[in-house]
Copies of this chain bind each other. A is one copy, B any other.
Amino acid sequence: MSLRVSQVAEQAGVSPDAVRFYEKEGLLPQPPRSPAGYREYDPTVPQRVRFIKGAQEMGLKLAEIGELLEIQDRGACPCGHTKTLVERRIAEIDAEMARLSGLRVELAEMAKLECPATDQGDLWPCEVTFIKRGGERVG
């Protein structure tokens, strides 16, 4: 039996619109249609959609996932390519974590600051911190 778009969507945990969107973007093959024009999906399609969601949760973009699927569909082993993608993503994650960790320190320091008795003109401690940062960056 074939599946309708909303059944695929439900089984994969996405919206029917998303399924149609993936098809439009070339991530899902165009399925055969019923006489009335309804999409009739192969029962393996929800798995493919879950693959998309899984890869997406790994931080890959739809375009990248599309690349992977395309290579896979052509029957070539995409592992090398996948590895490149994955390693690039790991590097991005490392960079982002370093950035966030530095940021966290600065924010935590900022959150410790107290308000009363400003000695910096008409600026408050937190704002002074912000502005000093801006000044450092540029000047």
CB proximity of A124 to chain B, nearest CB, Å? 5
Given contacts A51-B134, A134-B47, contact A100 B107 (CB under 8 A): no
In contact, B55 and A130 (Cβ under 8 angstroms):
yes
In contact, B78 and A107 (Cβ under 8 angstroms):
no
In contact, A111 and B135 (Cβ under 8 angstroms):
no
Q: How many copies does the complex hold?
A: 2
Given contacts A97-B100, A131-B47, contact A54 B115 (CB under 8 A): no
- Chain B minimum-CB-distance residue to A110: B86
Question: For A59, what are the chain B residues with a Cβ–Cβ distance below 8 Å?
Answer: 103
Question: For A78, what are the chain B residues with a Cβ–Cβ distance below 8 Å?
Answer: 124, 126-127
Q: CA A108 – CA B46 in complex, angstroms?
A: 26
Binds B, one of A20-28, A29-37, A87-95: A87-95
- Chain B minimum-CB-distance residue to A101: B97
- Chain B minimum-CB-distance residue to A52: B134
Does A11 reach chain B (CB closer than 8 Å)?
yes
In contact, A124 and B79 (Cβ under 8 angstroms):
yes
**Which residue of the partner chain, among B53, B55, B83, contacts A137 with CB atoms under 8 Å?**
B53
CB proximity of A47 to chain B, nearest CB, Å? 6
